[in-house]
Structure 1
């Protein structure tokens, strides 16, 4: 992992799955070349969304007549990408909640499809486009399954800001791109079958608190990460010290007002990030009797089990 181009698909379980993906990518040495296909609104999030925009993530408007060309242009830019990249797609189209699961189960029951218990029904149109456009230069698909132990609280942005650790288990299966069918219908069915298998895997995980007999690998924390954190912390502390030294030159009321404004700005940014990460604020899954979610717009190996904390 980290030595080849890969298309990454994953169940969208927690509020900060994107951060789990970043952690895995960073510890495999390809964080700088990790990309994703996500909804357009995400690029307006302070700092995190801006970094995604600068990293040339693919942003969708959720209208296929526009998104189809956006996807093709995004895939075309990756043909000559200078280093191994991961391109992440959450093909369920939205984050998992009990309400969305109920809607997916009702739809599956009405259509005679396998009834999901731990995942949503994948929307395959974007996945089919990705495979058709990148088959020639992306050799692998990483099928990731994210699960949280029953004894552990789900990871959230709030816990992260509070400095509380979270335990997440990730199973990654590598599929060769050559294994996939050549037709659009075949590719779509392959994706659906993967999520049926993923649902069964999660059902076993919930009963055993483990993915199976595979040896679990703790991906650890490289020393380079500690160096980066310490360096940025020192830089930020230096900037804050200089900032307060500058404000002390001003009149006392001006200094107090500036400090209060800065504090409110920090609190506001944190609140925006927290609210945007909560599953309750994610895009609702809209399914009507005449609408097949497996063809709707995309929102945004050996088996290895990884643990992050």
Structure 2
């Protein structure tokens, strides 16, 4: 099948917005990281959030994707871990349609594979956003994940961390591996989900709870009743989902088990519930989590406000991309600035391994400086 015009428009718009946004919107803020990582994080989270509204605008306004959200919803602004079944490779992006209505996009961080940070534009923006990149090798990921979580706790910036405990999206091949795991561990075979990996989830919850930076766990089940775009290639072909359904269960942190083994069992129980919920979803008519289609908690933004945000986002980013092309074409200083910032992104990637690692190093430096100053003041008082 040939690439469709609307699929190409969607992917190119997102890429150009992330590429130029990384250079012209995030680039000027990068030096602030060296002086105050906490302020840098506060500002860049809000800049990145403006880009996260763009996919929502394109999906819903341009391509007419319908979003249905049922269940417990969110308490706006609360700090949480979001766990979700990984039906397609694009679930993380579709989730923004839900978070735009029920939460604040500036709070979201995602655990995702480290290879993505090297992608120009998208990867640079995710580095600046301080997403958590993992290599899927627990021995290597544990220390980095702990450092990232401790940093979020130290700066007291609220976050909602999206985690896919299944580790990969649902396909025929991954379902076979999941079934083999089930047989080895005397577990039931699942049709609509994969058996979750509980080690990372347990570590994250315990670390955030220890740092007093967790209010709840949001368990989200996503389903696609009419068609399922499995990969980015499907979007390039113009095969967008006609409907996306989210069902939200909110669990306050006080209700979670304290022991690690019990927390792992708790996570596995949620996946057994997902399997049952999805079985009912796909076997019933109409296909829905709640046949009445109503959420128990209203969204924090009205549909009018959401519609205005989407319209403004689409207009802003369309104009921004056009202005960037004009600036590069017409003014030599703009071209020079562009080359310098792109060079910074490429160089730091090779030298430091990513801007999120530079941010952590800056935070450790200023923390040590502050601790040294406190020690000197204490010594002065004792003398």
TM-score by length of 1: 0.72
Corresponding residue to 1:239 among 294, 307, 324: 324
What is the rounded CA distance, in whole Å, between the counterparts of 2:95 and 2:121 in structure 1? 18
Offset of residue 77 of structure 1: 1.4
Q: 1:18-75, CA deviations, whole angstroms, 9 ceiling, x for partnerless residues?
A: 1112232233341122101111111112322221110111111222222111111111
Equivalent runs, 1:48-87 vs 2, <5 Å: 48-81=122-155, 83-87=157-161
What is the rounded CA distance, in whole Å, between the counterparts of 2:221 and 2:169 in structure 1? 14
Equivalent runs, 1:1-309 vs 2, <5 Å: 1=74, 2-81=76-155, 83-135=157-209, 136-149=212-225, 151-154=226-229, 156-158=231-233, 160=235, 165-166=240-241, 167-208=243-284, 209-213=287-291, 215-216=293-294, 220=303, 221-241=306-326, 243=328
More displaced stretch, 97-106 vs 188-197: 97-106
Q: 1:168-221, CA deviations, whole angstroms, 9 ceiling, x for partnerless residues?
A: 101010011122211111111111111011111111101011113453359754
Q: How many residues align?
A: 246
What is the rounded CA distance, in whole Å, between the counterparts of 1:161 and 1:140 in structure 2? 36
SS in 2 for 1:154: coil
1:125–1:157 Cα change, 3 Å = same
Higher normalized helix content (fraction of residues): 2
Contact conserved, 1:104 with 1:120, CA < 8 A, in 2?
yes
1:255 is matched with none
Contact conserved, 1:5 with 1:85, CA < 8 A, in 2?
yes
Structure 1 unaligned segments of length 5 or more: list them. Answer: 248-309
Offset of residue 82 of structure 1: 5.1
Contact conserved, 1:27 with 1:222, CA < 8 A, in 2?
no
Offset of residue 161 of structure 1: 5.0
What is the rounded CA distance, in whole Å, between the counterparts of 1:194 and 1:29 in structure 2? 22
Q: Indicate the RMSD between aligned Cα atoms, in angstroms.
A: 2.4
What is the rounded CA distance, in whole Å, between the counterparts of 1:28 and 1:210 in structure 2? 19
Contact conserved, 1:36 with 1:58, CA < 8 A, in 2?
yes
1:204–1:125 Cα change, 3 Å = same
What is the rounded CA distance, in whole Å, between the counterparts of 1:232 and 1:162 in structure 2? 23
Contact conserved, 2:98 with 2:246, CA < 8 A, in 1?
no
TM-score by length of 2: 0.59
What is the rounded CA distance, in whole Å, between the counterparts of 2:100 and 2:118 in structure 1? 24
Contact conserved, 2:198 with 2:267, CA < 8 A, in 1?
yes
What is the rounded CA distance, in whole Å, between the counterparts of 2:150 and 2:254 in structure 1? 20
Offset of residue 96 of structure 1: 1.0
SS in 2 for 1:216: coil
What is the rounded CA distance, in whole Å, between the counterparts of 1:116 and 1:164 in structure 2? 26
